[in-house]
Amino acid sequence: MEQHVIQYQTVHFNLNGKDVERTVDVRASLTDMLRNDFRMTSVKKGCEVGECGACTVIIDGEAFNSCIYLAVWAEGKHITTLEGLLGPNGELSDIQQAFVEEAAIQCGFCTPGFILTAWEILESGKEYTDAELRKLLSGHLCRCTGYENILRAVKKTMYKRLGKELPKT
């Protein structure tokens, strides 16, 4: 049999505000590295082919499916997982609190991914229509909530951040 040489590489990046480095197998996905080497268990392994969005993380301000992202590509990047949204004493961020209030959660498996995509949407500082929000959230599958409460949580937080009244529907 052909000899297989395992390649390792040291990756330096910023994880949730802290500079870190790890030597990883080049075959690892970013999901593998975040879960196995950093215990970032909010990063869920769902479909592992970029369909379900459960593994979503923020890389340099944009949402990516970490399951189809090589761990070694993290070099020099700023990565945020759900753990990074918590305040210094473990306080929930506005968008997390809105998910709680709107019951936008049932089993919780899709939640970290949804919240991080919502974070990218909210950080843009723009006001989106419902149709636009649905499209922006469409890279996630949720089998529990039927999506309405998730949409409501994102919308509520968007209006709150914009300092506007949530329109009555």
Partner 1 sequence: MYDMKALYQARDVADAVSLRLAHPEAQIIAGGSDVLVQMREGKRAGKELISIYGLDELRGVKMEEDGTIRIGSLASFSHITRDPLIQQYLRVLGEAVDQVGGPQIRNIGTIGGNTCNGVTSADSASTLFAYDAVIELTGPEGVRRTPIGDFYLRAGKVDIRPGEIQTGILIAKESYENTFGHYIKYAMRNAMDIATLGTSVNVRLSADRKTVERARVAFGVAGPIPLRAVTAEAAAAGKPVSEELAAQFAQAVKEDINPRDSWRAARDFRMHIAVESARRAFLESVKLAGGEL
x/- contact string, 57-86, with partner 1 (CB under 8 A)?
-----xxxx--xxx-xx-x-----------
- Closest separation in Å from C-beta 165 to partner 1: 27
Within residues 90-119, the interface with partner 1 by CB under 8 A covers: 117
Calpha distance 43→71 (Å, rounded): 13
Q: Tell me the DSSP string of 89-148.
A: TSPPPHHHHHHHHTT--SS-SSHHHHHHHHHHHHHTT----HHHHHHHTTT---SSS-SH
- Closest separation in Å from C-beta 64 to partner 1: 6
Residue choice 32, 81, 111, 115 for contact with partner 1 (CB under 8 A): 32
**Cα 143–Cα 147–Cα 153 angle in degrees, nearest 5:** 130
Nearer to partner 1, 136 or 144 (CB): 136
Residue 65, H or E segment: strand 62-65
% helix, strand, coil for the chain, step of 5: 35, 15, 45
Question: Nearest to residue 54, comparing CAs of 125, 132, 109?
Answer: 109
Within residues 132-151, the interface with partner 1 by CB under 8 A covers: 135-140
Residue choice 11, 15, 28, 95 for contact with partner 1 (CB under 8 A): 28
# residues contacting partner 1 (CB under 8 A): 33
Nearer to partner 1, 127 or 164 (CB): 127
Q: Is 49 in the site for partner 1 (CB under 8 A)?
A: yes
Contact 165, 159 (CB under 8 A): yes
Applying CB under 8 A, which residues contact partner 1? 4-5, 7, 25-29, 32, 48-51, 53, 56, 62-65, 68-70, 72-73, 75, 117, 120, 135-140
